[in-house]
Structure formats: C-alpha cells, structure tokens
Chains A and B, each alone.
Chain A
Amino acid sequence: MEDLLLNDAPVINEVDQKEPVRKMNFILSKAGLDSVYACFIMANGARMEGIEAEIFFTFFGLDAVNKKRMEHLHVATVGNPGMHMPTVLGAIPGMETFATNMMKKQMEDLDLPTVPEFLEILEASGVEMYGCKLAADMFKLKKEDLFEGIKDIITVGDFYAKASGKGSHIVFI
C-alpha cells in the first residue's frame, strides 16, 4: 500500500516549473462590504495582470449586484472578528452604520470606487459576471433586477463548465 502511494506521488523534476494563472473564478456568497471589496479588488487585479476573471454571485452575494441594494451594503459589526470589537458592542444600535461610514470614508481616502462604480469598472475591464440561478430563484430575482453587467443567470454546473481549463482557479468568498 505504501509503495503504491509513493509511486502515485507526482515527480517534480524542476523546482521552477511554474504554471501561470490564466483564469480566476470568484464565487461571492456574502454582501458585507469587506467581502465584496475583497472580491472586486482581486478580480480587477487579475484583469490588470492580463488574467481572465469571472464572478459568480450567489446567495447574499447577489445583494452586491441587486440594483435595489448594491448602494446600501454594510460592514458587519457582529460576528466579524476583524472588527476587534466585543460582540455586545457590535450589537449596539447605530454601531453598524458608524463602522460602515468609517470604512466608506477610509476607502474614499484610498481612491476606492463605490460598489456601483466598481461594478462598471469590472465590466469595462472584461470581468464576466453571472448570477446564481438557485439563489436568484430563492430571492425571487430576475436578470432585470440585477446590475446590467450581469451576463446571465446560470447554474452551478454552468459555472464549473466555464471554470474548466488549464491554469483556471476557483476562489470562494
């Protein structure tokens, strides 16, 4: 058994054999500002390096492209260890708005675009964006309810088919 395992181990002849990243496929499942910006910056950064990029918006991630909600995303103050804030403090009324405004101010100082503007930039940069069919059905959303740059509402299977190929990677946010 041990021999078999050893034989199956890949043989790496050259240490510097690098496989370039050709495509990044992001799955955005949350609509907290921190998650949305992480996803958008990574996708935009990929395009800037000449790497293909795709975002699949699923579950609460759909809020980031929901015309009615995309301008009102928040940063979570409860259950977000990155906030360095005791949960009880995060739950105080107004705290989430305060933290969100703080974060928005900091992002403005860094010249980061707002969510709707960022979506325009991503579309112009050639990032392919899709909504998840199951999530859209669940939230009763149609393509018309979503940002115009959303190419289509597709199934998980469609997503995997698009993500196939050498040097293609999937990241779940």
Chain B
Amino acid sequence: MTTLVNEKNVQFNEEGFMTDFSQWDKEVAEMIAAKEGIPVLTPKHWEVINWLQEQHKSKNPLTIRKVGGSGITDIKEFYALFPNGPLKKAAKISGIPKPVSCI
C-alpha cells in the first residue's frame, strides 16, 4: 500500500506500519498521527518517538514496561499521549515495525 506525502511515495503494510524507514520524516509522522487521531504532535510526542526509534535501532524489544522505565515518559502519560493502543500507535507514527511483545 502506497500513500503520497508531499510528492513522496510512502510504503505501508496492510496493518498501516511503514515498511521502509528511509522514507520516514516529520511530515510523514504528522500525516500518520493525524490518521491515528492525534492532530498535533507535541514536543513530548517527539521525545517519545525519538526514543522508540533509538530502541528499534539498538534492536531492543519494546514493551510498555520499558517505556515506563525510559525516563522520557511514564505509562500513564504514554497512554494519554497515544490513546487506544499506545505502543502500536506510537510505533506506527515512528515508522518502525509493529512491536511483537505481549506486555
């Protein structure tokens, strides 16, 4: 599935996760966020997004518990920043694959 963002073709899988991180930029993130019901990405959102991308680069599996211990945000705030399925939603916006953890 391809979506046009600022004359750039961005590839997504059938669940809506980006398949090529090199296509990710802030505009793409904002477009995905709007689609996920987050109209404005605040500085806190960006901090979490950057942290998630770093974790993904370091091949650290992502869990809610890890987000809680990240020092960037706590679990309650994480749920408030990305309502209704925070880890999946935040991963989508960050352009990284769907986290496979159950916790």
Q: Chain A interface (Cβ within 8 Å of chain B)?
A: 41, 44-45, 47-50, 111-113, 117, 121, 124-126
Contact = CB atoms under 8 A, between A and B. Distances in A.
Nearest to A50: B84
Contacts of B79: 47, 124-126
A121 B64 contact: yes
Interface of B: 61, 63-66, 68, 74-76, 79, 83-88, 102-103
A125 B83 contact: no
A124 B76 contact: yes
> Which 8 A-B pairs have CB atoms at the shortest separation, nearest pair first?
A50-B84, A124-B75, A50-B85, A124-B76, A49-B85, A45-B102, A48-B87, A113-B65
A48 B76 contact: no
A106 to B, nearest CB: 14
Given A48-B87, A49-B85, A124-B74, 10 more contacts: A41-B102, A41-B103, A44-B64, A44-B103, A48-B64, A49-B88, A50-B84, A121-B64, A124-B75, A126-B76
Contacts of B74: 124
A126 B86 CA distance: 12
A4 B83 CA distance: 47
A22 to B, nearest CB: 11
